[in-house]
């Protein structure tokens, strides 16, 4: 079995072969920290979290770098407009670095809640001004960039492969350019590497071209190559980001990096698709952006994570209350089986020596594991992988209901849930009880009701006892009175 990844650069699934055997360098464009994270951020970073988890699970020594954009990202996503962070700082009347600090903390708080393993390195653009200036100097020396009025631009006509990622021919870009093209640019598609700071601009640094600040695209080239290296000394195996970043952001990253080093910048480009809200594109201008802190008031972060992984990273994800409620129920189903398995194991351990080993209790765990990895090897197909966990659930429920169980099988089942659902997908914490979507353990609640019924039976309140039993049955909880007490299981 080998891992196949859909490479946006070639538009096909390719067998994954890292640049250096056994090692993977992955860079994902991080957030621009001028507001709280929304559900779109969750989709992107949960998707890449599972990709990184899976690579590590496969045994690759994986270095995951994800930047924090704290300067240079302008309001029009290209070279015009205000710096997003400075704009927010003026609105809030605080220093831009306060904005950065506040929303960086908020971002990690939300990502931690979603069970996302933190990147190994989270570099900030403002901490890498020297490295960015060095790339601009290298490009100027090689004739790929030019200075105009204290700003520096990349000359796209000098890089014949410009447009190879987004597949936009340069002449089309020229024809489609807006009427008001910056007159400093030689070609409408030229992009800023360094921008002159206008009067009143707070975030600015000394450079060979005067006081200014780096262009947005430049930071990702500087920080990814600094920490992951350039072939033959390492390199970037995987570069990820949102689909909307293919152009201009990633196209420009390729141009400036490859022209500066003469080496291929990235081997595999992975782009995740966007979130829609009730079928509509999500956007600030549409007023339908769902912040994670708001979403978490209604749904546990684990449910949000599970919901995201139920669709493939390259598919759009439609956020609706019905879909989230469905996800909560689905996750609860998975958890219930795991709880029952764990409860049964505990019970068996107590009744040491009375293990029930009978024919017919076999589950092909190796087969399930194989199917799970086949799904993940196919471009990280998490919806299919989750489907396999549900198939496993059905078989486990059957053997739990049949009483033809064996402690060894149940322990292996539990270990498999931990491995696939826990380590790889991150949807199954070791203590599922504490993570119930309602915040209260259903197990404990059911146990409590059963105790009340036992109490009613002791007091010979038969009508009350039957009412509780029938009420639970309607909710799908079957209780059985046995010699050693009352046990329960879920129907179906
Ligand atoms: Zn980037």
Q: According to the per-residue pLDDT averaged within each range, which of 56-70, 344-358, 474-488 is highest?
A: 56-70
Q: According to the per-residue pLDDT averaged within each range, which of 2-16, 175-189, 418-432, 442-456 is highest?
A: 2-16
Confidence of residue 178 (pLDDT cuts 50, 70, 90): low
Across 299-308, 372-381, 437-446, 471-480, least confident range:
437-446
Structure tokens belonging to residue 98: 């306060």
How remote is the CA of residue 268 from the centroid of ligand 1, in Å? 15
Place of tokens 């447009």: 163
How remote is the CA of residue 222 from the centroid of ligand 1, in Å? 10
Q: What is the DSSP string of 311-336?
A: S-TTS-EEE-HHHHHHHHHHHHHHHH
> Per-residue pLDDT for 405 more than 80?
no
CA-CA distances (angstroms) from residue 320 to 29, 273, 279, 307, 310? 27, 17, 9, 11, 14
Confidence of residue 356 (pLDDT cuts 50, 70, 90): low
How remote is the CA of residue 194 from the centroid of ligand 1, in Å? 16
Across 178-192, 275-289, 457-471, least confident range:
178-192
How remote is the CA of residue 68 from the centroid of ligand 1, in Å? 9
Confidence of residue 438 (pLDDT cuts 50, 70, 90): very low
Q: What is the DSSP string of 46-112?
A: HHHHHHHHHHHHTT-EEEEEE-BB-S--BTTSSSSS-BHHHHHHHHHTS-HHHHHHHHHHHHHHHHH
11 in helix, strand or coil?
coil
Cis amide leading into 248 (omega within 30): yes
> Per-residue pLDDT for 174 more than 80?
no
Separation of alpha carbons 152 and 140, rounded Å: 9
How remote is the CA of residue 186 from the centroid of ligand 1, in Å? 24
CA atoms within 13 A on the CB side of 178: 10
How remote is the CA of residue 29 from the centroid of ligand 1, in Å? 4
Spatial contact of 2 and 67, defined as CB atoms under 8 Å apart = no
Residue length of the chain:
492
| Rg of the chain taking only CA atoms, in angstroms | 27
CB atoms within 10 A of CB 187: 18
In this prediction, residue 97 carries a pLDDT of 94
How remote is the CA of residue 31 from the centroid of ligand 1, in Å? 9
Using one digit for the tens of pLDDT, what is the confidence trace for 202-261?
A: 999 999 999 999 999 999 999 999 999 999 989 999 999 999 999 999 999 999 999 999
How remote is the CA of residue 25 from the centroid of ligand 1, in Å? 15
How remote is the CA of residue 189 from the centroid of ligand 1, in Å? 18
How remote is the CA of residue 128 from the centroid of ligand 1, in Å? 14
Spatial contact of 426 and 47, defined as CB atoms under 8 Å apart = no
How remote is the CA of residue 249 from the centroid of ligand 1, in Å? 6
How remote is the CA of residue 32 from the centroid of ligand 1, in Å? 10
In this prediction, residue 358 carries a pLDDT of 55
> Per-residue pLDDT for 285 more than 90?
no
Average pLDDT over residues 327-340: 94
Mean pLDDT of the chain: 91
How remote is the CA of residue 117 from the centroid of ligand 1, in Å? 20
> Per-residue pLDDT for 106 more than 60?
yes
How remote is the CA of residue 334 from the centroid of ligand 1, in Å? 36
């Amino acid at each position: 079995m080998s891992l196949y990844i859909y490479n946006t650069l070639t538009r096909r699934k390719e067998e994954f072969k890292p640049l250096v055997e056994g090692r993977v360098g992955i860079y994902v464009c991080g957030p621009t920290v001028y507001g709280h994270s929304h559900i779109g951020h969750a989709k992107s970073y949960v998707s890449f979290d599972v990709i990184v988890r899976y690579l590590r699970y496969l045994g690759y020594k994986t270095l995951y770098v994800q930047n924090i954009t704290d300067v240079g990202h302008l309001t029009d996503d290209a070279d015009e407009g205000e710096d997003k962070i400075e704009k927010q700082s003026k609105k809030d009347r605080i220093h831009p670095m306060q904005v950065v600090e506040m929303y960086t903390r908020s971002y990690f708080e939300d990502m931690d809640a979603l069970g996302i393993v933190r990147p190994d390195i989270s570099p900030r653009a403002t901490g890498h001004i020297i490295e960015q200036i060095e790339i601009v100097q290298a490009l100027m020396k090689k004739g790929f960039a030019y200075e105009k009025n204290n700003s520096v631009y990349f000359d796209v006509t000098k890089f014949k492969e410009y447009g190879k990622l987004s597949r936009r021919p340069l002449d089309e870009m020229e024809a489609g350019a807006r009427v008001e093209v910056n007159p400093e640019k030689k070609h409408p598609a030229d992009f800023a590497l360094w921008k002159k700071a206008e009067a009143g601009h707070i975030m600015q640094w000394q450079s060979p071209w005067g006081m200014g600040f780096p262009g947005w695209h430049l930071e990702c080239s500087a920080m990814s190559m600094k920490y992951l290296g350039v072939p033959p000394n390492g390199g970037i195996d995987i570069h990820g980001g949102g689909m909307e970043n293919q152009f201009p952001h990633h196209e420009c990253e390729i141009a400036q990096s490859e022209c500066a080093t003469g080496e291929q910048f990235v081997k595999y480009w992975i782009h995740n698709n966007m979130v829609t809200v009730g079928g509509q594109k999500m956007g600030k201008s549409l007023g339908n952006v769902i912040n994670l802190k708001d979403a978490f008031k209604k749904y546990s972060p684990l449910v949000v994570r599970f919901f995201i992984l139920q669709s493939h990273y390259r598919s759009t994800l439609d956020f609706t209350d019905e879909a989230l409620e469905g996800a909560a129920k689905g996750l609860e189903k998975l958890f219930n089986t795991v709880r029952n398995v764990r409860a049964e194991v505990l019970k068996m351990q107590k009744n040491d020596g009375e293990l029930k080993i009978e024919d017919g209790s076999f589950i092909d765990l190796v087969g399930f594991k194989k199917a799970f990895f086949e799904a993940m090897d196919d471009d990280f197909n998490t919806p299919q992988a989750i489907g396999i966990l549900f198939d496993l659930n059905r078989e486990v429920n059957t053997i739990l209901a049949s009483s033809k169980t064996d402690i060894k099988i149940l322990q292996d089942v539990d270990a498999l849930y931990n491995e696939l659902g826990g380590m790889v997908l991150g949807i199954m914490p070791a203590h599922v009880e504490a993570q119930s979507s309602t915040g209260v353990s259903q197990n404990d609640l059911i146990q409590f009701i059963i105790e009340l019924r036992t109490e009613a039976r002791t007091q010979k309140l038969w009508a009350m006892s039957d009412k509780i039993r029938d009420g639970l049955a309607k909710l799908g909880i079957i209780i059985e009175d046995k010699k050693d007490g009352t046990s329960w299981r879920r129907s179906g």
